[in-house]
Structure 1
Amino acid sequence: MKKIIILVTVLSSLITTVSCSDDFTDPQLQQNEIIEDTPITTLEQLQTFMNGTYALMRNQYYYGCSYIVYGEVRGSDEMFSNGKSGRYLSVSQFTMNADDGQATQTWRRIYRVIANANIVINATITDGSSEKSINEIKSQAYAVRAWAYFDLIKLYGQKYTQDKNLGVPIILDYIKDPVSFSIARSTLDECYAQIESDFQQAYDKSEYSLGTKQTLTKGAIAALMSRYYLYKEDYKNVYKYASEVTNQYAPIDKGLYVTSWRIEGLNSIFELAYGVSGSLGTAGIAYIFSMDGYANTRVLPSLVNAYDPEDIRATIKKDEKDKTGMLRQNSSKSSTYLEGKYPVLTGEANQKLIRYEEVALNQVEAILMGGGGSNDEALNLINGIREQRGIAPLTSVTMDDLKEERRKELVGEGFRVWDLLRWNKSLTRLGLTGEKEDVLSEGDYRLAFPIPRSEVDNNPGLSKQQNKGY
């Protein structure tokens, strides 16, 4: 086979050479060479590059660890960081500056994912492959790009801070001359328009495949769209896409719940594949959450005490070898850790990033907020989850019920901070032992991450667009 060199994008310091992960790529694809002449032209190359795009999402500063931790330790009411091993101190204590490593690395890693997605989206396939096959792969790239921009605006955008409508730079194509690279931040409205356009392209080009869990098919894309529209408070679209998903999938059975986090393909609509070759080891999220790892992130006692004694989500492990529990406590029971959702310390278990239960709760909220459906429908959805967790059904459902069920069901999955902000709740900065230290209300500049100084310094378009306060 002729050696193929894939065209990659270099975007000043914003995005360095894009590569595909070793375990996903043909060994003949050269990962660190920039091409001048030979773009992607075959379906096989397109699939390889899409696989590499998923692999980039596994990075420790994106979904491999940090992005999920951000949603749990930045003032939430379910988990906090105790600062062990020196990790997530500036994040949890809201002391970040423009040189912060977490802010810098997460920005770069997400833009690398976008760069790969751009290459897939813009590729012209000339090997005679069917349009259906090409669209199937490109739909995934559109979905990933929308997802990535959504994640960027949540962290770096200004929806909840001072400027209200500042988003992030939108990059949709190759930039071949990094010396002249200059691109400003788009407004939030412009970012929303791009995200929605990408999601619609992804949705229109995709098909349902209920047994496929490691690529983004129509069900996963519709689920992501319900997540996005919930953030945007567009409840009619939340209901539209969530109800489509809940008609196709079901909650994980009570008898499988605990073990499902270890088993590929169970309890997910989409999961990020790892395996031995893709495992992050000590850099992965299991190490942050586990007592046997860094033991950095703990569950607040208020959440532990809120669970019904029969709730399978709050079963306590007897010891480190016990695989029948979700939570683990130290000998004095003063500290509780969530180990069940990331049960393999070395990190080779697949990561469940989109689940039925999240989408069902999105739908319940949409109904309660007037987006469509009926109260009976909302009650059936929330009770469907409660039944499979071993607890009594509700006789009616309110927003308070919904908020508490999201807290119990989705803990440790990175949603809580965004939920609190959506509900106009203040974030409470907790000390390293979980005590309340500060309250951050809407408008506080610390609710957004700083734009990395290296990006501001090297991109003239960003020179006067740093988030205020940094």
Structure 2
Amino acid sequence: MRKYIYSLFILSGVLLTSCSEDFTQPEQTDGFSNDKMKELAKNPEFAMYLNNAIDAGIGNKLISWNNDGRSRHDDFGQKAVDLGLDLMSNDMAMIPKTGWFGPYYQYSGRGEAYILTSNLWGYYTFIIDNLNTIIVNLENSGDSEEVLALKGRSHGMRAFANFMLIRLYASGDKGIPYATESNKNYARASVTEINDLIEKDLLLAYDLALPNASSKETLTKSTIAGLLTRFYLYKKDYANVVKYSDLALTNFSKAVSFAIVNDGFVNSSNPDWMWGKERNASNTTDFISFFGHMDSYNGGGYVAYAGEYKMIDKRLYDAMSVTDKRREWFSNGDKEVYGIVPLYANATKFRDKTTNFIGDYIYMRSTEIFLNKAEAAAELGDNATAQAILKDIMSTRDEKYTVTKTGAALIEEVRLQRRIELWGEGFAFFDMKRWGIALERNYPGSNHADSGKWSYPVGSPKFVFQFPLRELQANDKIPPSEQNPF
């Protein structure tokens, strides 16, 4: 047994710390090809150790720093992507000083020669390739509960990674190259093909996943159902959004109160959290982290120390009722309350009082799923359900809140409350794209930095990343003519 465990640490380290430049090519494990991994996995005892190590490594990949090997301080896993993409929306402004996250905010990193697109593409294709390794290794591992659950998690995470890529790199009906455990299609597949693959993976994952887990780091039926609601919102399949919202919310009879939600978004034990990652002294990335870039009070981070504040868009702040408690999340300019934090900056929504940058990372919470259902219900014309969900959520956020809107006005109301509630959580850019909203930052009284006052129309190619040069050089099945427009 000991030799297996020893080998396991070596293999998992090689698998999940290397970065191949040939992003979609199968030899991303550097020291161990897929054929070698399959050979090693023939030992049933070793196979599950190996697969569980890769699975754990992928979980750690979501919070790890320097995934692209360039030591960038805006490269620390999924929350870096969430923050960066929010900075590409209308809803988040920033004071760019250090250069980190500037390529997102200033729309200067999406071109083929830039580090940002190389980072994003390499990050998710690396995860996909390692998940394919697990799925291949499990082909002959039997059908025990442990095997099936791991298979379900692997398909669910592969869907998550492909879902990120298709929304970043799809242009018109042209999708992305992809790889599964049985098919390496490095030519550019259609959006429809990729969507079918994502849906198939998510549905299989839902069928195989366990209903409960000992940790919120593990995908369960509820969290995979939550991923399905995101996917079906993107597809505008609103009936399935409602269906899977109900399945995701089996443990929630109503929305969690604001008093519980409002804890600085640092603790995965919060009852609102459905999927998240616990962080501690052993896995912290110190100030190179989400809270290092968001917390306005920790003097060791980029915000308080360097003055690189992240702010809510003035229009969105002004859209909140004066009695809405969520206004407290942002500085109102009262220096007796917020010290030196500038107007509209994040003040209390994201606050890591540990001061050691070990606040937990959130990927999904029940409030999001309630809002997903409300949006779908409003789109389906079910005014009563959408109104009821809004009233339930807002009852503890704004005691004077009422909603009687119907039809298109109700849809806009759901969107507004979603934008406010989920600010800074990684949804704004993708929501802007799927709703067909233009980027409009250069307006009278704008609080956006001059370097970020861009305005792009609906459907602009600026909302799509170009494939990185390293991918084009490694993949001769994407000719230059198929590169996304700049």
Shorter-chain TM-score bucket reads: 0.7 to 0.9
Matches within 5 A, 1:149-164: 149-158=162-171, 164=172
- In the other structure, the counterpart of 1:72 is 86
Tell whether 2:57 aligns with 1:52: yes
Partner of residue 254, structure 1: 258
Instruction: Report deviation, 1:119.
Output: 1.6
What letter corresponds to residue 32 of structure 2 in structure 1? I
Work out which of the residue numbers 351, 362, 371 in structure 2 matches 1:352: 362
Distance 1:317 1:428 in 2: 21
In 2, the alpha carbon distance for the partners of 1:428 and 1:232 equals 25
Match of 2:234 in 1: 231
- Deviation at 1:188? 0.7
Counterpart of 2:281 in structure 1 is 276
Give the TM-score, by structure 2 length.
Answer: 0.81
Which residue does 1:408 correspond to in 2?
Answer: 420
- TM superposition shift of 1:62: 6.5
Shift of 1:59: 3.6
Quick check: 2:138–2:147 contact (8 Å CA) kept in 1?
no
Q: Residue type matched to 1:299 in 2?
A: I
Do residues 107 (structure 1) and 117 (structure 2) align?
A: no
Structure-1 separation of matches of 2:266 and 2:79: 17
| Equivalent AA in structure 2 for residue 261 of structure 1 | F
Match of 1:207, SS state, is coil
Q: Does 1:423 align with 2:435?
A: yes
Residue 390 of structure 1: how far off its partner (Å): 4.1
Quick check: 2:438–2:457 contact (8 Å CA) kept in 1? Answer: yes
Q: Deviations over 1:51-79 (max 9, x none)?
A: 11111122453644331123311132x21
Supply the distance in 1 between the matched residues of 2:341 and 2:135 (Cα, whole angstroms): 54
CA displacement at 1:404 relative to structure 2: 1.1
Between the aligned partners of 1:185 and 1:198, the Cα distance in structure 2 is 19
Secondary structure (helix, strand or coil) at the match of 2:453 reads strand
Q: Identity, % of aligned pairs? A: 20
Shift of the 273–18 alpha-carbon distance from structure 1 to 2, 3 Å rule, reads farther
My pick for the range that moved more, 195-204 or 233-242, is: 233-242
Aligned equivalents of 1:443, 1:306: Cα separation in 2: 25
Unaligned stretches of 5+ residues in structure 2: 66-74, 332-336
**CA spacing shift, 1:201–1:140, aligned 2, 3 Å:** same
- The answer on whether the counterparts of 1:214 and 1:273 sit within 8 Å (CA) in structure 2 is yes
Q: Pick from 214, 217, 228: which aligns with 1:214?
A: 217
The one-character-per-residue Cα deviations of 1:290-334 (angstroms, maximum 9, x if unpaired) are: 33422332222333333334433232589xxxxxxxxx8553743
User: Distance between the aligned counterparts of 1:466 and 1:66, measured in 2?
Assistant: 28
The structural deviation recorded for 1:394 is 2.2
Alpha-carbon deviation of 1:380? 1.8
Equivalent positions of 1:237-386 (< 5 A) are: 237-249=240-252, 250-259=254-263, 261-266=265-270, 267-291=272-296, 292=299, 293-295=301-303, 296=308, 297-315=310-328, 329=338, 331=340, 333-341=342-350, 343=352, 346-370=356-380, 374-386=382-394
Asked whether the 8 Å contact 1:338–1:412 carries over to 2, the reply is no
- Where 2:282 maps in the other structure, the secondary structure is helix
For residues 343-400 of structure 1, give each alpha carbon's deviation from its aligned partner in whole angstroms, at most 9, with x where no partner exists: 25643222111111111111111111118xx422222211111123243342424112
Quote the Cα distance in structure 1 between the aligned partners of 2:422 and 2:97: 24
Give, in whole Å, the separation in 1 of the partners of 2:167 and 2:339. 34
Distance 1:458 1:195, change over 3 A: same
Is contact 1:289–1:339 with CA below 8 Å preserved after alignment?
Answer: no
Q: Equivalents in 2 of 1:426, 1:242: separation in Å?
A: 28
Distance 1:362 1:4, change over 3 A: same
With over 3 angstroms needed to count, the CA separation of the structure-2 counterparts of 1:260 and 1:130, relative to structure 1, is farther
| Offset at residue 264 of structure 1 (A) | 2.6
Pick closer, same or farther for the CA change 1:210–1:87 going to 2, 3 Å: same
SS, match of residue 219 in structure 2: coil
**Structure 2 residue aligned with 1:34:** 32
Say which SS state the counterpart of residue 175 (structure 2) adopts.
coil
Q: Aligned equivalents of 1:396 and 1:229: distance in 2?
A: 26
Which amino acid is the alignment partner of residue 225 of structure 1?
Answer: L
Q: Distance in 1 between matches of 2:131 and 2:88?
A: 29
Specify whether residues 367 and 259 from structure 1 end up closer, same or farther in structure 2 by C-alpha distance, changes over 3 A only.
same
Which whole-Å CA distance do the structure 2 matches of 1:227 and 1:123 have between them?
Answer: 29
With over 3 angstroms needed to count, the CA separation of the structure-2 counterparts of 1:340 and 1:75, relative to structure 1, is closer
The amino acid that maps onto 1:34 is F
Greater alpha carbon shift after TM alignment, 241-250 vs 114-123: 241-250
Does structure 2 retain, via aligned residues, the 8 Å contact 1:72–1:416?
Answer: yes
The aligned residue for residue 170 of structure 1 is: 178
Q: State the alpha-carbon separation in 2 of the partners of residues 466 and 273 from structure 1.
A: 41
Q: Distance in 1 between matches of 2:460 and 2:264?
A: 40
- Residues 157 and 448, structure 1, Cα contact 8 Å, conserved in 2: yes
* Count of equivalent residues: 436
Q: Is the 8 A contact 1:74 1:429 kept in 2?
A: no
Cα distance, 1:353–1:338 mapped onto 2, change above 3 Å: farther
Normalised by the length of structure 1, the TM-score is: 0.83
* Match of residue 72 from structure 2: none
Counterpart contact for 2:159–2:202, Cα < 8 Å: yes
Contact conserved, 1:303 with 1:408, CA < 8 A, in 2?
yes
CA contact (8 A) 1:113 1:145 kept: yes
CA contact (8 A) 1:280 1:346 kept: no
How far the C-alpha of 1:240 sits from its partner, in A, is: 1.2
Task: Give how far 1:145 is off.
Answer: 0.3
